[in-house]
Amino acid sequence: MEKKIKLALCWHMHQPHYRDGLDDIYRLPWVYLHAIKDYADMAAHLEACPQARVVVNFAPVLLEQISDYAGQMRAFLAEGAIMRDPLLNLVAGASPVPAEPEARAEIIRACQRAYAPTMIDRYAPFRTLVDIAREQYSAGELDTVRVSYLSRQFFVDLLVWYHLSWMGASLRQKDFRVTRLLARKNNYTAVDQQLLVEVMADTLEGIIPRYRALQQRGQIELSLTPYGHPIVPLLLDFAAMQPSQPAAPPPQSPAYPGGEARARWHVERGLEVFEQHFGHRPKGVWLSEGGVSSAALGLLDEFGFDWTASGEGVWRASCELSRISPQDLEHKKLLYRPLSHPPRHCALFFRDDGLSDLIGFHYKSWRAEDAVNDFCHHLENIRQFLRDEPGEQVVTVILDGENAWEYYPDNAYAFLSTLYRRLAEHPRIELVTFSEALAACGGQALRELSQLRAGSWVYGSFSTWIGDKDKNDAWDLLAEAKTCYDRVMESGLLSQEKSAKAAEQLAICEGSDWFWWFGDYNPADSVRDFDQLFRRHLIRLYQLLEKIPPQKLKNPLSHGGGGPSDNAGTMRRNG
- Residue 329 has a pLDDT of 84
Element (H, E) at 142: strand 141-142
Query: Shortest CA distance to 235 belongs to which of 279, 288, 156, 312?
Result: 288
Distance CA 393, CA 378 (A): 15
Distance CA 382, CA 425 (A): 18
351 pLDDT band, cuts 50/70/90, is very high
Element (H, E) at 479: helix 469-491
Of 103 and 330, the structure prediction assigns the larger pLDDT to 103
DSSP string, 484-544: HHHHHHHHT-S-HHHHHHHHHHHHHHT-SHHHHH-STTS-HHHHHHHHHHHHHHHHHHHHH
> For 396-405, what is each residue's pLDDT tens digit?
999 999 999 9
- Residue 571 has a pLDDT of 45
560 contact partners, CB below 8 Å, separation of at least 6:
517, 519, 520, 521, 522, 523, 524, 525, 526, 527, 528
> For 17-66, what is each residue's pLDDT tens digit?
999 999 999 999 999 999 999 999 999 999 999 999 999 999 999 999 99
**Where in the chain is CATH 1.20.1430?**
470-568
**Where in the chain is CATH 3.20.110.10?**
5-13+218-448
- Residue 245 has a pLDDT of 95
Distance CA 13, CA 10 (A): 10
Q: What is the DSSP letter of 339?
A: E
Of 172 and 139, the structure prediction assigns the larger pLDDT to 172
Class assignment of domain 470-568? mainly alpha
Angle between helix 190-216 and 259-278 (nearest 10): 100
Distance CA 2, CA 384 (A): 11
Contact yes or no for 288/233 (Cβ under 8 A): no
Task: Find the mean pLDDT for residues 136-146.
Answer: 90
Residue 240 has pLDDT above 80, yes or no: yes
Domain 5-13+218-448 has CATH 3.40.190.10: no
- Write down the mean pLDDT value for the chain: 95
> For 426-459, what is each residue's pLDDT tens digit?
999 999 999 999 999 987 889 999 999 999 999 9
